[in-house]
A = this chain, B = another copy of it.
């Protein structure tokens, strides 16, 4: 399938997701070599899972299918610019490319916080709308020491 065909399919999934009442107006695909490996829609409200954005659902499904925590060589198609959570997940999954259609500004116009969260992450902790505090930094090095000591650690 071409990029346009893949995105048209994702847009159709997003429309159907709203009609079915499963969640927000978003869908995403994980694609390998022009073929759909996994697809996801936003199911935040129907599954009580704030992390169940379309991209997250598709990434998790694709990884299960591949038995891997990496999406090497895959492409992510998303009907809207991924939010910081989803873009973070994409960086951890390390696909080859991301293609999106609507923008964070388009999402903001219909009431979604994506643009707000991007702005928040640029602020120092003290100026965030959700207060962030730090404590016990020295004690918290213990898990890292344990990690470095572990000969058979699996890095990701």
Contacts and interface: CB of A to CB of B under 8 A. Distances in A.
Contact of A59 (B50, B95, B113, B133): B50
A83 B79 CA distance: 24
A11 B147 CA distance: 13
A88 B112 CA distance: 13
Nearest to A99: B133
A132 B51 contact: no
Given A79-B140, A97-B133, A143-B17, A56 B45 contact: no
28 contacts: A3-B135, A4-B135, A11-B136, A11-B143, A14-B142, A18-B147, A25-B144, A48-B64, A48-B68, A50-B69, A50-B89, A50-B92, A50-B93, A79-B140, A84-B85, A84-B87, A84-B88, A84-B91, A85-B87, A85-B88, A94-B130, A97-B130, A100-B133, A101-B135, A102-B140, A111-B155, A118-B121, A122-B122
Interface of A: 3-4, 7-8, 11, 14-15, 17-19, 21, 23-27, 44-45, 48-51, 56, 59-60, 63-64, 66-71, 79-81, 83-103, 106-107, 109-111, 113, 116-118, 120-122, 130-137, 139-144, 146-148, 150, 152-156
